[in-house]
Amino acid sequence: MTIALTTLIIYAKDMQRTARFYVAHFGYASNYAVVDGLIELKPANGGAEILVHQAAKSLKFGSAVLKLSFSVPDVDEFVSNAATAGLEVGPVHRANGYAFANTKDPDGNAISVSSRQYRA
């Protein structure tokens, strides 16, 4: 049996806003059409696709139990480019041969950018 994590579903207060966020800052592509209640985001350079789903009004945001981690070869460069594009990213931390920094999406979901995958 083959098993792989290929898709993440993100519940959003504003589906279009959340989709635009991941397209603008994390290299996803989308036509922003809502099909079967979802907006599909395709990764430009490999990785898991993201489906954006309308959050129920009863869903409570702000309590992190999951963090998305995006691999980048150069965290400092990502943070610099993100700032130019209007994305606030926290300070760059360094540990055991790699770097990482943290931010949040429009719904408060935790996001990390990390060079861990690229360490020697």
pLDDT value at residue 64: 59
The size of the chain, in residues, is: 120
Domain ranges in the chain are 1-55, 62-120
- Can you name the residues that pair with 104 across neighbouring β-strands? 110
CA-CA distances (angstroms) from residue 14 to 1, 4, 21, 53, 54?
37, 28, 11, 9, 7
Q: What is the CA radius of gyration of the chain?
A: 15
pLDDT digits (tens, 9 = 90+) for 85-105: 999 999 999 989 999 999 999
What is the topology classification, in CATH, of domain 62-120?
Answer: 2,3-Dihydroxybiphenyl 1,2-Dioxygenase; domain 1 (3.10.180)
pLDDT value at residue 62: 65
Query: What CATH number labels 1-55?
Result: 3.30.720.120
Single pTM value for the model: 0.86
Cα gap 18→12, rounded to integer Å: 6
